[in-house]
Structure 1
Amino acid sequence: MLVLTGFGLAALTTPSFSGAEPNADFEDAVAVIGAGGYTGGDTVRSLIKKGQKVIACTRRPQKIVLNAERGPDTIVLDDERERNLVRSAIVDVNKASSIPSAIQGAKAVIFTAASRPKTFAAAKVAPPSDHVEDIGLENVAKACIANKIPRLVIVSSVCAKCRKKQEYDVPDQLDRGAASCDACYKKQAGEDAVRELYAAAKDPSLSYTIVRPGMLTLGEARGVKEVEFNQGVTKSGMISRLDLADILTAAALSKDADGKTFEVYYRDSAQPVDMYASLQSCKALGKSVKECFFGDGYDESTPVSLDEMLKNPVKGTLFASGREVHGNSYFAMFKDLSSDKDEAFDLDSIGYNSM
């Protein structure tokens, strides 16, 4: 669910350009495409806090403002001293010609852009857009390869509830919210296009990272120790946009994330995509049913109340698949992920009729 907030108007004097000018002293910056959105804005601030120069790419002009001066069409900074680390650029990912000069010289591009339904235009939030996640992403990937940008980091989605060719056996399990099956399949098409383009480029100096967050929240950051990486779309969960932004920042600055696709969520919020298959996998790892549901250390002979479960922090991982990654540093966690295989992931292979 998207939560909208109101903003004010004042702006800082910050360098900006239309996309036709070179980046000059912003070479070696990180370009954030979709910087005007929640995730994009949080990513801009995360990068700046790491001392990184940022090219904030948005579809329409944005003002760079302090937190107290936020308003419509603004990118918010926490400290006025940060303004020299960010400049804005106009990029419409569905117009391929607007991309190259905006990202020229960047050491990484982070793609956080998303399509906007017509309801946004009615609410005067943003003009509508479509095919950002597939056609737009493909345009960005082509521009990154052509301009020798070392790394492209992409925000995708778990989207594991949606099925394209069949209906769920249990109708209420179908996600009929804003993240519709159609939007999820556009994300999948975009992922596939990126993998194919980088495979065809055959340039070891260029790579991508695809990050699939679970349900995004506007809550406070909980930090790396609460986050679980996984691969294979066996489960999902919730994660704050602030923690997601830190993961994207780390991926943009790390070669160890290259060529990898993975899911991210808080480990204590993990939910299986397929309950039956997840329990089978968990039990095959030697865990009891209670440990699968509640974490490590529960005694099978003792009943577990809901109050007890909520009071005790989760130990280990829920619905263990054997592919979970935990750690004290995202950079270290990237090393434990597997690189992508040639075959694309097929959402139609996941469903409740396998139970």
Structure 2
Amino acid sequence: MASRPKVLVVGCSSGVGLQATKKLLDKNEEFETVCLVRNQEKAARAIGEDAGKVKFINGDITKVETLEPACQGMDVVVCSVGATVGWRLPGSNANTPKNVDYLGVKNLSEAAARAKVPRFVLVSSMLVTRPWHPYALVLNTGFGDVLRWKLKSEKCLRESYKQQPNMSYNIVRPGGLTNKTGGKKQILFEQGDKGSGFITREDVATVVMACIEGKCAANSTFEIINGDKDGGLDAASLASLVSDQ
């Protein structure tokens, strides 16, 4: 039997990363799930009863030396990390938007590129290119320029993966995240960072799975929100995506 593709999830303990991990484990016969963690016990508690199906690798997105060994042999890297703090005194905490959302993602994308990981899926954010939007002003002011750092990390990923043969990326930019049950409302796709809206974390994870499975256009950046109509993910929406210029 052919070996299952290995998917490394970075950010598996909470949010979209946790939801994506659970969806991977639902397809355990198709994918091997590997998680990069700082605290294996915490991650296992978050994942729940299926944690025994996960291969855990100790590492930290802010520690470069732990990343390339973790990426070796992977078929896909999924990055869904986010800083848990906003403004702090310089040097008081490494878990800041600059160190996590930018430098950490930069470290990871460069390590994945060096390890020749075929596909990289990055969960970023809507509004990264519109700093004067009211919501962007609130986020950047209250959370350490988080959208500015996320935009820089997107550019680093494109730079790391561009013109690499047999390697591609997807950058998923969700709107405001909610904890509502996914799969209820249609998932709307946009490109160009023009709209705004909200989407469930579970629905973002559904789109991440589509990227893992190669259903999203290679080297594409796109925004997703929930619409008003009932539905979910449909093939036509995925087919509408175009690669970055």
Please report the TM-score for the alignment, with normalisation by the length of structure 2: 0.84
**1:40 is aligned to 2:2:** no
- Is 1:333 the counterpart of 2:232? The answer is no
Map 1:107-186 → 2, pairs under 5 A: 107-117=75-85, 129-130=95-96, 131-159=99-127, 162-163=130-131, 175-177=137-139, 180=143, 182-186=145-149
Which secondary structure does the structure 2 equivalent of 1:267 belong to?
strand
- In 1, the alpha carbon distance for the partners of 2:181 and 2:111 equals 34
Q: Secondary structure at the match of 1:257?
A: coil
Matching of residues 226-265 of structure 1 within 5 Å: 226-254=186-214, 256-265=216-225
For the 8 Å contact 1:117–1:128, the answer to whether it is kept is no
SS in 1 for 2:127: coil
Q: CA deviation at 1:37?
A: 2.0
- 1-structure distance, mates of 2:198, 2:121: 20
Separation in 2, partners of 1:160, 1:147: 28
SS at match of 2:205: helix
Aligned residues: 234
- 2:155 is aligned with what amino acid? D
Amino acid at match of 2:73: G
Letter in 1 for 2:240: D
In the alignment, the residues of structure 2 paired with residue 220 and residue 327 of structure 1 have an alpha-carbon distance, to the nearest angstrom, of 11
Cα drift, residue 61 of structure 1: 3.2
Task: Find 1:192's aligned residue among 136, 155, 159.
Answer: 155
Q: Secondary structure of the equivalent of 1:247? A: helix
One of 18, 32, 35 as aligned partner of 1:53: 32
Distance in 2, Cα, partners of 1:116 & 1:36: 13
Answer yes or no: is 1:221 the counterpart of 2:182.
yes
The CA deviation at 1:31 is 0.7
* Alpha-carbon separation, structure 2, partners of 1:62 and 1:103: 21
Cα distance in structure 2, aligned partners of 1:209 and 1:48? 21
Highest Rg: 1 or 2? 1
Aligned-residue offset at 1:191: 0.6
Contact 2:129 2:193 in 1 (8 A): no
Q: 1:76 to 1:84 in 2, by over 3 A?
A: closer
Give the C-alpha shift of residue 209 in structure 1: 0.4
Which structure has more strand as a fraction of its residues?
Answer: 2
| Other-structure match for 2:46 | 75
Contact 2:120 2:169 in 1 (8 A): yes
- 1:259 deviates by 0.2
Residue 204 (structure 1) shift: 2.5
Say if 1:152 and 1:234 are closer, same or farther in 2 by CA, change over 3 A.
Answer: same
Check conservation: 1:27, 1:105, Cα contact below 8 A.
no
What are the equivalent positions in structure 2 for 1:258-277 lying under 5 Å apart? 258-268=218-228
Distance in 2, Cα, partners of 1:64 & 1:36: 5
Question: Is this contact kept in 2: 1:62–1:88, CA < 8 A?
Answer: no
Deviation string, structure 1 residues 73-119 (Cα, Å, up to 9, x no partner): x3323xx4x44531212221121110122222121010001122179
Structure-2 change in CA distance of 1:148 and 1:238 (3 Å): same
Q: Are the aligned partners of 2:119 and 2:212 in contact in 1 as well (CA < 8 Å)?
A: yes
Question: Which letter maps to 1:86?
Answer: V
Let me know the Cα RMSD of the aligned residues.
Answer: 2.8
The Cα of 1:148 is off from its aligned counterpart by: 1.2
Secondary structure (helix, strand or coil) at the match of 1:235 reads: coil
